[in-house]
Amino acid sequence: MSPPVTGRTTATLDEWGSRLFNIGAPRAPKAGAAGTGRRPSSHAGTGGRLGTPEARAQFVRQKLQQMVRRAPQVMVKIAKAPKGMRGISNNLSYISRDGKLDIEDQDGQVIQGKEAVADLKAEWQNGGVPIPQQSTKRDAFHLILSMPARTDPLAVQRAARVLAAREFSSYQYAMVLHTFETDPDPNPSRHPHVHLTVKTAGLDGIRLNPRKSDLQRWREGFAEALRDQGIDATTTSRLHRTTHERWTIRRGVDPITKAKQIDRRLRATPVPPVQREVMQNYERVMKALAGSDQGEDRQLAADLLRHLSGRSRVGGKEKGRDQERE
């Protein structure tokens, strides 16, 4: 006897949707993982809430709903890492605009003015694990957390504060909000963004060593913190966004027919293996939603197909969406 339709939909979303959005069941940390500077996590920014197939399937639905309504994309990236105290000093001067903008540290203290920034530099150099003036090591990481123009800057700042406190509680860090109105730069960005510089050596001696999975967790955590502030936000990888642009789908009579057209298109269009896998995962998810006994799922399948077929390819890049200026 085959499982109920709802059960099959959940199982498919859990299997293929979880692959699509890099979701996994909670895993125990590997032996010998201490000292990597990375913490075990079940999924980026979800706080370990995805421990069941039903929870993961619902998370996939939420991600797809954010996609079809074109929720604003968060941007979290690692900029050039400062090396040695000379590099860190230049970085702190840059993000604070030579003391013209307030720095907030890991204790919530506000550093104002050029002299206070100089004191902060001395504290970083001599406190905890000392930093040599010159070094070939990455002694700090410089993150930029940004949202599109017209997003509430204070909400961006609060979300960055939540993320920093959760992810870097054992590290010294300096955080500065840049807005179009307050940035003294001659050509300020219209995208409200936060510069977050984190000292690589933690207070517990563990060095920060981020990987791609950590960066994705930070993106998800930043988006979640923004949503908690009432700001619609999501995160989708560039691979997923450019994958959408490869699909040219004729208008069909129903989502399942369109999904079959996608399948034929997949076989006929030469694409890189990783991108092909993403496209196939979308196809399986859409077929499952279209065959669900839940009206909301079938509507989501139709909305997703309209969303995918409505994109146009512009020189291999999305128009303006990824053009950020810090």
CB 159 within 8 A of CB 222: yes
The number of C-alpha atoms within 13 Å of 42 and in the hemisphere containing its C-beta is 13
Name the token pair of 183.
């940035």
pTM: 0.69
Task: Give the Å distances, CA to CA, from 217 to 55, 185, 206, 221, 314.
Answer: 18, 31, 19, 6, 29
Q: Can you say how many angstroms the Cα of residue 166 is from the centroid of all Cα atoms in its chain? A: 15
Residue-by-residue pLDDT tens, the chain, 326 positions: 445 667 888 888 888 777 777 775 544 444 333 334 444 443 444 545 677 888 888 888 888 888 787 788 899 999 988 999 999 999 999 999 999 999 999 999 999 999 999 999 999 998 888 899 999 889 999 999 999 999 999 999 999 999 999 999 999 999 999 999 999 999 999 999 999 999 999 988 889 999 988 998 899 899 999 999 999 888 776 555 544 444 444 444 455 565 655 555 555 555 667 777 777 888 888 888 998 989 999 999 888 888 777 653 333 344 444 444 44
**What is d(CA 37, CA 106) in angstroms, rounded to the nearest whole number?**
17
Q: Contacts from 317-325 at CB under 8 Å and sequence distance 24+?
A: 317/242, 318/241, 318/242, 318/245, 321/73, 321/241, 322/75, 322/238, 324/75, 324/144, 324/146, 324/189, 324/191, 324/193, 325/189, 325/191
CB 155 within 8 A of CB 179: no
Q: Domain 75-228, what architecture?
A: 2-Layer Sandwich (3.30)
Q: Where are the domains of the chain?
A: 1-22+44-71+236-326, 75-228
Contacts of 229 (CB under 8 A, 6+ apart): 152, 155, 158, 159
pLDDT of residue 260: 59
DSSP 3-state assignment of 102?
A: coil
CB 256 within 8 A of CB 287: yes
pLDDT in tens, 75-121: 999 998 899 999 999 999 999 999 999 999 999 999 999 999 999 99
pLDDT in tens, 133-169: 999 889 999 999 999 999 999 999 999 999 999 999 9
**What is d(CA 257, CA 251) in angstroms, rounded to the nearest whole number?**
9
Instruction: Name the one residue in this structure whose structure tokens are 């269009």.
Output: 269
- Torsion, Cα 185 150 68 276, to 10 degrees, reads 0
Instruction: Name the one residue in this structure whose structure tokens are 């076989």.
Output: 267
